[in-house]
């Protein structure tokens, strides 16, 4: 949902690594500077940027993917020959080869990665690109901000986060923020945005204490993210809740959990078993079972991307078959083989694909299918939020954006309401916020590739609704 497992496939992963560069250019100055262009991969368009510098005639460079929040990736090889340049990025298993224009204002070239080639026209910027994020306020803040650690004793995992406490005597109402899917830090940082930083700032300016924390195995938190499932993350969230409720600055009877995306199923999992949870907030939280949600998500994103209805239907049918295989009990390797055969059969039957396209897709089959058989995804596909929402009796606020393609609002809110009614819960509020996407930004398309291009991080009306629900105002 927020991250990586729920987003359209990324062209670049979050990258790390050391740089080792070389240069062979008689006049490297022509390439020095900041360059940016659009990489179009099907329906997804991502900006990529290179910053090239020279020292004693030797070029070095870094690469950014602003729309994914990836910055400063070392370019491992810079090879400039007269009017041509090669920029190799080993950590992305990709490279850019281009030719500079006569006026030195653009480089026309190709980004190559994973066997695919994408034309990218880089244009020279007057200054280095800086993301515009006006909602990210800078210190000093009118509240206390404390770095804290707490422990999930069940898993013996130490987690790290930030607690923001309003000014005054307290005790204050409080909320734990739980991130969406994928390894995210306490700010739920993605696509160049820090939504949890913005939420915590707003709420603590309005009298609410907030605990946000790094996912296990991420940033300053310990543990192994890769082997964890939604239920493990629920244990982490419950540990965060217990820690927060015990703080002297906090009113233990007014502490709740607000989860975004996958965090929106974690909140009811915890509330269904822990009667001390005072309220929950579902920020684009799932109401449908995992496999049904991903099927709806895939179709919604495809339609918004301009894919024809026949192809949307074919993809939905294939995904349904693959999810059913992944849901089977048994050995993951054997199920992977079954899924691969189903995938290859579907490719062979697709008359819209050329032989080259089919062969390229077959060559990438293992890479495409492997995520289906991770512990996290196999678990998520089987989770039915109704099993937990139907046992929640505390107040529930569910917020969804009308342009959310990852958790389609109408389907989602309807499923949530059905489950809450089954619980006999009358203390809930369902809100569809017009024009907002999965990250609660005012959006044009709602497509994931739009997230990083928007300057807004979290819409004011969503912040206001969240604050009003917690404080009762």
Report the Cα 201 to chain-centroid distance in Å. 20
Residue 445 token pair: 């398309």
CATH class of the region 144-289+383-471: alpha beta
Q: For residue 69, what pLDDT is reported?
A: 74
Q: What is the pTM of this model?
A: 0.85
Q: For residue 114, what pLDDT is reported?
A: 76
pLDDT tens per residue, range 266-289: 999 999 999 999 999 999 999 999
Tell me which residue of 269, 282, 245, 234 sits closest to 392, measured CA to CA. Answer: 269
pLDDT tens per residue, range 390-412: 999 999 999 999 999 999 999 99
Q: For residue 263, what pLDDT is reported?
A: 98
Per the listing, tokens 């449908």 go with: 288
Beta strands 33-41 and 209-213, pairing class: unpaired
Q: Which residues, in sequence order, are CB contacts of 357 under 8 Å at separation 6+? A: none
Sign of torsion over alpha carbons 214, 220, 222, 227? positive
Average of pLDDT values for 146-174? 97
Q: Is the pLDDT of residue 117 over 70?
A: yes
Q: For residue 14, what pLDDT is reported?
A: 30
Q: For residue 6, what pLDDT is reported?
A: 32
Integer Cα distance of 352 and 350 in angstroms: 5
Cis peptide before 353 (omega within 30 of 0): no
Maximum distance among all Cα pairs of the chain, rounded to whole angstroms = 76
pLDDT tens per residue, range 359-386: 888 888 988 899 999 999 999 999 999 9
Q: Which residues, in sequence order, are CB contacts of 431 under 8 Å at separation 6+? A: 397, 398, 399, 400, 465
Q: For residue 43, what pLDDT is reported?
A: 64
Half-sphere exposure of 149 (CA within 13 A, CB side): 11
Integer Cα distance of 55 and 461 in angstroms: 49
Q: Domain residue spans in the chain? A: 28-125, 144-289+383-471, 291-379
Q: For residue 213, what pLDDT is reported?
A: 98
Torsion angle defined by CA atoms of residues 298, 301, 306 and 308, in that order, rounded to the nearest 10 degrees: 20
Q: For residue 10, what pLDDT is reported?
A: 34
CATH (residue range 28-125)? 2.40.128.120
The 10 Å Cβ neighbour count of residue 127 is: 7
Q: For residue 27, what pLDDT is reported?
A: 63
H or E stretch at 377: helix 375-382
Integer Cα distance of 383 and 229 in angstroms: 11
pLDDT tens per residue, range 6-63: 333 333 333 323 333 333 433 678 899 999 999 987 667 889 999 999 888 789 999 9
Find the range with the poorest average confidence among 199-213, 218-232, 323-337, 457-471: 323-337
Q: For residue 170, what pLDDT is reported?
A: 87
Integer Cα distance of 198 and 98 in angstroms: 39
The answer to whether 405 touches 312, Cβ cutoff 8 Å, is: no
* Between residues 177 and 452, the one the model is more confident about: 177
pLDDT tens per residue, range 447-461: 988 998 899 999 999
Q: Which residues, in sequence order, are CB contacts of 63 under 8 Å at separation 6+? A: 48, 49, 50, 73, 74, 75, 87, 89, 92
Cis peptide before 331 (omega within 30 of 0): no
Q: For residue 12, what pLDDT is reported?
A: 36
pLDDT tens per residue, range 410-458: 999 999 999 999 999 999 999 999 999 999 999 999 998 899 889 999 9
Integer Cα distance of 266 and 213 in angstroms: 14
Half-sphere exposure of 452 (CA within 13 A, CB side): 25
DSSP annotation of 192: T
Beta strands 396-401 and 280-283, pairing class: parallel
Q: For residue 127, what pLDDT is reported?
A: 83
Average of pLDDT values for 169-195? 94
Per the listing, tokens 């309401």 go with: 417
Q: Which residues, in sequence order, are CB contacts of 225 under 8 Å at separation 6+? A: 183, 215, 216, 217, 218
Q: For residue 209, what pLDDT is reported?
A: 98
Tell me which residue of 346, 198, 195, 183 sits closest to 262, measured CA to CA. Answer: 183
Integer Cα distance of 180 and 203 in angstroms: 19
DSSP annotation of 142: S
Q: For residue 472, what pLDDT is reported?
A: 86
Three-state DSSP state, 461: helix
Q: What are phi and psi of 398, to 5 degrees?
A: -120, 120
In this prediction, residue 305 has a pLDDT band, given cuts at 50, 70 and 90, of: confident
Mean pLDDT of the chain: 90
Same fold across 28-125 and 144-289+383-471: no
Integer Cα distance of 213 and 218 in angstroms: 10
């Amino acid at each position: 949902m927020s991250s990586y497992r729920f987003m359209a496939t990324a062209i670049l992963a979050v990258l790390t690594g050391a740089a080792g560069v070389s240069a062979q250019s008689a006049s490297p100055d022509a390439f020095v500077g900041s360059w940016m262009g659009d990489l179009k991969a099907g329906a997804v368009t991502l900006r990529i940027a290179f910053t090239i510098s020279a020292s004693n005639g030797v070029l070095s460079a870094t690469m950014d993917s602003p729309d994914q929040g990836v910055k400063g990736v070392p370019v491992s090889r810079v090879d400039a020959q007269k009017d041509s340049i090669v920029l190799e990025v080993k950590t992305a298993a990709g490279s850019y080869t281009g030719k500079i224009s006569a006026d030195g204002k653009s480089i026309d070239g190709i980004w190559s990665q994973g066997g695919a080639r994408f034309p990218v026209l880089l244009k020279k910027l007057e200054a280095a690109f800086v993301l515009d994020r006006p909602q990210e306020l800078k210190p000093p803040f009118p509240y206390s901000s404390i770095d804290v650690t707490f422990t999930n004793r069940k898993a013996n995992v130490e987690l790290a986060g930030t607690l923001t406490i309003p000014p005054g005597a307290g005790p204050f109402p409080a909320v734990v923020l739980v991130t969406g899917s994928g390894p995210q830090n306490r700010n739920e940082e993605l696509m160049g945005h820090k939504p949890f930083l913005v939420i915590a700032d707003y709420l603590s300016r309005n009298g609410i204490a907030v605990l946000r924390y790094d996912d296990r195995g991420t940033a300053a938190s310990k543990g192994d993210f890769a082997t964890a499932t939604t239920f493990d993350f629920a244990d982490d969230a419950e540990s965060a809740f217990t820690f927060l409720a015990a703080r002297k600055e906090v009113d233990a009877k007014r502490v709740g959990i607000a989860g975004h995306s996958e965090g929106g199923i974690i909140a009811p999992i915890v509330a269904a078993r822990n009667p001390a949870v005072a309220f929950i907030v579902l920020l684009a939280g799932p109401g449908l079972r995992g496999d049904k949600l991903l099927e709806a998500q895939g179709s919604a994103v495809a339609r918004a991307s301009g894919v024809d209805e026949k192809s949307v239907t074919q993809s939905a049918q294939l995904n349904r078959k693959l999810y059913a295989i992944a849901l089977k009990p048994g050995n993951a390797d054997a199920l992977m083989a079954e899924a691969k055969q189903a995938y290859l059969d579907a490719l062979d039957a697709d008359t819209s694909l050329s032989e080259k396209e089919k062969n390229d897709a077959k060559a990438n089959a293992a890479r495409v299918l492997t995520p289906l058989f991770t512990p996290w995804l196999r678990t998520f596909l089987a989770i039915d939020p109704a099993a937990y929402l139907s046992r929640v009796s505390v107040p529930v606020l569910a917020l969804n954006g009308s342009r959310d393609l990852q958790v389609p609002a109408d389907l989602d809110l309807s499923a949530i309401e059905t489950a809450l009614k089954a619980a006999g819960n009358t203390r809930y509020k369902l809100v569809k916020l017009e024009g907002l996407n999965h990250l609660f930004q005012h959006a044009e398309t709602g497509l994931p590739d739009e997230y990083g291009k928007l300057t807004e991080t979290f819409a004011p009306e969503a912040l206001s609704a969240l604050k009003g629900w917690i404080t009762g105002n």
